[in-house]
Structure 1
Amino acid sequence: MTDTLVIEGHASLFGLADLGGDVVARGAFAASLATRRTIPMLFQHDPSEPVGLWTSITEDARGLFVRGEILTSGARGRATAALVRRGAVDGLSIGFRTRAATPREARGRVLTAIDLWEVSIVTFPMLPQARLRLVAPARNRVAA
């Protein structure tokens, strides 16, 4: 048996300003999701050692909803899974390139088209409401 930890949550929420003042508009991810084959699951935006895979990434009514598996076969995945299981790390954050945006009156931008590069499990998300949760533990074991 190989252990995986199944997680899900919103990596981005529409209409909420992040700590930099940016707001993601509904539909901003649509073109990117239609053309990208895979989106890496990273820990703290570190591309050197992915920690799992996203099995589903979709825009829903609230934002960018992700579901995936942290793979515990590698050291980084094991450590990430342990931190998530214990509740020490529960943030999600997106790595992206802005395709189209308009300035906001206060500060920041309204992001209307985003090229999504990766979704990371992080300690401090730029959008504080972007959080993950564990999926039912009975479904967190898969056969090798």
Structure 2
Amino acid sequence: MHDFDLHAPEGANKKKRIIGRGQGSGRGTTAGKGNKGQQSRSGGKTYIGFEGGQMPLFRRLAHRGFSNYPFRKIFQVVNLGEIEKRFENGETVDPGSLIIKGLAKGNVPVKILGDGEFTKKLNFKVAALSASAKEKILKAGGTVEGAGND
């Protein structure tokens, strides 16, 4: 036995099964596809949900209503308690400063929620604020610019 006598474990490399090469091969004539029918034909496929000609379930069920999913607004959520820990008095809280402090990631608007204690006087320039967050910020002497109550 040599150090570099490498080989695959038994059963790892299987011989490819060649079909449709005559009767003597054992896989001739119908080539393992059975006898006749759509599935034995070249290109014989059906669409997903096909039920053999019966009216498919997705067409039998009524589709009603409206989904707001395509039109939803996605926000990154940051709580006032986290902002209290990472910001000093007089600083401006905007998406750039939140990214620098590790509270938000880029390209998604930020919404500030009012969870936690808040006592610092900060200036907020964010996409959205909750009503409780706005109340706490103003009570602490801070300012809010360009954010509606969402």
Q: TM-score range by the shorter chain?
A: under 0.3
Q: TM-score, normalised by structure 2?
A: 0.19
Q: Higher helix proportion, which one?
A: 2
- State which structure, 1 or 2, has the greater radius of gyration over its C-alpha atoms: 2
Q: TM-score, normalised by structure 1?
A: 0.19
Structure number with the bigger relative contact order (C-alpha 8 A, sep ≥ 6) is 1
